[in-house]
Structure 1
């Protein structure tokens, strides 16, 4: 018996030593990968130092401060508008007795599948000075309509395509709400509004805040929509300086934009996720039903109106571009080629594959270790995820020109940018899948004499494979829509769907954008289908 015990003890120690050595190696690998991903962002400081004393004067220049104030004001307006639209829609689709409730839920969520710059493109085509509405009103003697361009137009368009962030997070909070609290307030003679204000609102406030902060981050980093709507914000200001060969100034502005983003993220971490699980839908635990009576039919007009303006209008405009011909719609030398679509798919596949390869060691290690190195390797890549696309692109331009000039304007650099920008999506998915693996299964395989590699291949990998696939799909879909990084970093004569849409938009050749715009909407809609399918499984 003593001999057997000694053998068992020695085997256990060997296993522990092996686990410890491999674990340390995996942690070091994850940390090195994370550092390599984040390091190019620090190159912005090198360019800023080159400005010397001019850096401060440029930072406080009146034009810079005006753009900063305008950007922050746009963030505030869009965030407030998204809350005003998203919260009522969430309440109606969860607690209200709307007719066709599931249908209106899908309608309310779908605008998130349409890139906001395509929505802005469609809005200008419909409501611009020479748009479809002006053509309809002109025979009636109405020669001028209010302009869609400017701050108000940009705020309206961004609100239409970002409110689903608030809608989805608020809806998740409502689905996990304990109905007995609301019913208790009602039995104490509290009115419906009083019960909502005193009981429901405090419970769902973390979900509302989470969605609002996502809207703020998106608005702050958006490039296409403000450009199309002719309102100068930080992203356009940076792009203009970059195109004017003012690389150092663009780097300074990029750091300022990143600093504002960091403030928003700090606010998110303070308000952050609540401890009550408001973010996760754990089933409708008997959520309080709101009897609207005859008002349920007028109430259905809200999601119907939003769906009409945010979904049907762009699709109708794209269809009109496709069918219509004449001045302003001729393609000329900028004819659409399906090679642009193939380029989009190819680069998105490369980004998804590379992101998974990088994310696997980080995600697996962060799920199985609580060491500071593993935690740092897990959180560091989110710096790239938080950086607006144009900031990341400017940083990589500076880094490649100064350190790796042969890397500049190449496909590997573009793929690297996508990995830095979107790889945390894969990390989160892989880490979550690994946390759900029963450690008893892994330990059982090890005690049966299987090596660590064999155990991972036969036990762990099949269980985390769905998370890997989900992470790859998320990276693929977000890469397809990315605009500023693609515009700045793509190789010469390498067009994708988004860059082609951008070129014809700037040239006013609306008809040429019809097919790629519709294709991009279909591909983007796949991401929304994944979200809704997940909610369907948890309802």
Structure 2
């Protein structure tokens, strides 16, 4: 590569630098807000808030929930992945898809379904159970992919040395799967620290629910800001850890050539028990919530409760999710282009900064944007523009992940040729690079539409007056105990999510088998 080419790659054009600056400013606002409000309270105010018994209670609840759900989800995810990928279990293709389907049921929908069965599921124990069942696929999917990609030669060597299957698993298999397991576990932990809707329905108090309550009782309260600071201290290590593990999972192989076929481990007499365990896991995580939605939808249909509000909720969902997906994708693209085409310390920083805020709950991001909008841009308050800004701050990392593969595959030399023919940097990008990365843009738009249609907390706080979505209708009605009225909205959300989850899982399996 010529020296001029290297210089062109290392220095991003002005349009790209300015475009990357916009999302950086957005995601910096929550961090600035927390620091600013904490400083306004002063050292005495911060100390008084931190030593309150209420703060200690919220801290213990938040940590207990996060650690418990992460550990249980990790155990369930690893166990399911090993049974599906390494054992001689029958109907393997079915179990591969079924183990990922709990992702189609949003956590707050699953919580509403379980809470409608009996109030016994409300409380910390019920929350740990329900959220573990909802989130174990976040561990199952990466671990299953890691198990499929491992070279079986290392396990053969271990077994030839007389080690038992258990010792081989813990000594050989698990260490190779650890990066995937760690990434999945940290993702579960960040979800738990940011969870609001499910915990509100299950009557569990954590920092997220307390911040929301403080916001409702006293608008822009110092208490909410200080609680946000404590929550930020909890989320930053998890966010940095997740960001570090996202660099990629590398699995060693014993040599070059065609990949060796994994040899299924015979379960023997344990096979019926393994099948029963997998069936119970899928039933509890997917069938029970779906069955309760069907039951309550049937009850609601007999009374037509809530049915007139379905179309406004669908319209509100689409009016926010579709343009929101376009905005988030457009803001994420400059970050990915800068990191891949123009590597350097600055581009790496702007590429990784969104992952820091990704661990924050929507309520903190909404508080920050409301704080700055009222003081500097009051006309933006209670508008869709402010909500789109919150969506960008919360979901940029997901859009970056969807775009990255396509940008990495797009050859930069074609853009250089366009530049040499007299086109400016932006026109060269639009005419050459953008058509080449359209598959990644389409994947990001689809993923963002799905995620924004299910988003709850920021939408509750920042949606324009009179705008409702499927997610907000489920939460508001279920929070009031109107299960029959909430069921149709919840069923539509699940239906909206099920097909993308199925397609994503099938596509990941097909790509791996190529």
Query: Scaled by the length of structure 1, what TM-score is found?
Result: 0.87
Compare 316-325 and 173-182 and name the one that shifted more. 316-325
Q: 1:213 offset after TM fit, Å?
A: 1.0
Residues of 1 paired with 2:11 and 2:182: CA distance? Answer: 43
List gaps (5 residues or longer) in structure 2.
none
2:72 equivalent among 58, 66, 81: 81
3-state SS of paired residue (1:495): coil
Q: 1:273 offset after TM fit, Å?
A: 5.4
Equivalent position of 2:279 in the other structure: 304
Residues of 2 paired with 1:356 and 1:458: CA distance? Answer: 18
Compare 501-510 and 100-109 and name the one that shifted more. 501-510
Residues of 2 paired with 1:59 and 1:344: CA distance? Answer: 38
- The Cα offsets for residues 44-65 of structure 1, whole Å up to 9 and x where unpaired, read as 3333333232222012211101
2:177 equivalent among 204, 213, 232: 204
Residues of 1 paired with 2:38 and 2:419: CA distance? Answer: 53
Equivalent position of 1:67 in the other structure: 58
1:50 lines up with 2:50 in the alignment: no
1:419 lines up with 2:392 in the alignment: yes
Compare 89-98 and 416-425 and name the one that shifted more. 416-425
Equivalent position of 1:252 in the other structure: 226
Q: CA contact under 8 A between 1:175 and 1:284: conserved in structure 2?
A: no
Equivalent position of 1:475 in the other structure: 448
1:290 lines up with 2:234 in the alignment: no
Equivalent position of 1:190 in the other structure: 163
RMSD: 2.7
Residues of 1 paired with 2:104 and 2:306: CA distance? Answer: 30
Equivalent position of 2:128 in the other structure: 155
Compare 476-485 and 42-51 and name the one that shifted more. 42-51
2:239 equivalent among 247, 262, 265: 265
3-state SS of paired residue (1:409): coil
Residues of 2 paired with 1:29 and 1:324: CA distance? Answer: 51
- The Cα offsets for residues 20-67 of structure 1, whole Å up to 9 and x where unpaired, read as 886244224313442244235412333333323222201221110111
Residues of 1 paired with 2:409 and 2:306: CA distance? Answer: 54
Q: CA contact under 8 A between 1:114 and 1:521: conserved in structure 2?
A: yes
1:317 lines up with 2:292 in the alignment: yes
Q: CA contact under 8 A between 1:117 and 1:228: conserved in structure 2?
A: yes
Q: 1:104 offset after TM fit, Å?
A: 0.8
Equivalent position of 1:135 in the other structure: none
Residues of 2 paired with 1:462 and 1:372: CA distance? Answer: 28
Q: CA contact under 8 A between 2:180 and 2:249: conserved in structure 1?
A: no
1:27 equivalent among 17, 29, 52: 17
Q: How does 1:355-374 map to 2 (within 5 A)?
A: 355-374=328-347
Residues of 1 paired with 2:71 and 2:215: CA distance? Answer: 31
3-state SS of paired residue (2:166): helix
Equivalent position of 2:137 in the other structure: 164
Residues of 2 paired with 1:70 and 1:20: CA distance? Answer: 47
Q: 1:406 offset after TM fit, Å?
A: 1.8
Residues of 2 paired with 1:176 and 1:427: CA distance? Answer: 24
1:109 equivalent among 95, 100, 115: 100
Equivalent position of 1:137 in the other structure: none
Q: 1:371 offset after TM fit, Å?
A: 2.6
Change (3 A) 1:271 1:460: closer
2:457 equivalent among 476, 484, 503: 484
Change (3 A) 1:367 1:316: same
List gaps (5 residues or longer) in structure 1.
1-8, 130-146
Q: CA contact under 8 A between 1:74 and 1:219: conserved in structure 2?
A: yes
Equivalent position of 1:497 in the other structure: 470
For these two proteins, the number of residue pairs brought into alignment is: 505
Residues of 2 paired with 1:283 and 1:89: CA distance? Answer: 27
Q: 1:288 offset after TM fit, Å?
A: 3.9
Equivalent position of 1:405 in the other structure: 378
Residues of 2 paired with 1:419 and 1:310: CA distance? Answer: 30
Compare 200-209 and 262-271 and name the one that shifted more. 262-271
Q: CA contact under 8 A between 2:26 and 2:389: conserved in structure 1?
A: no
Change (3 A) 1:432 1:303: same
Change (3 A) 1:22 1:537: closer
Q: How does 1:93-104 map to 2 (within 5 A)?
A: 93-104=84-95
1:536 lines up with 2:475 in the alignment: no
Change (3 A) 1:243 1:284: farther
Q: How does 1:496-515 map to 2 (within 5 A)?
A: 496-515=469-488
- The Cα offsets for residues 169-196 of structure 1, whole Å up to 9 and x where unpaired, read as 1111111211001011111221111211
3-state SS of paired residue (1:380): helix
Larger Rg: 1
Q: CA contact under 8 A between 1:111 and 1:161: conserved in structure 2?
A: yes
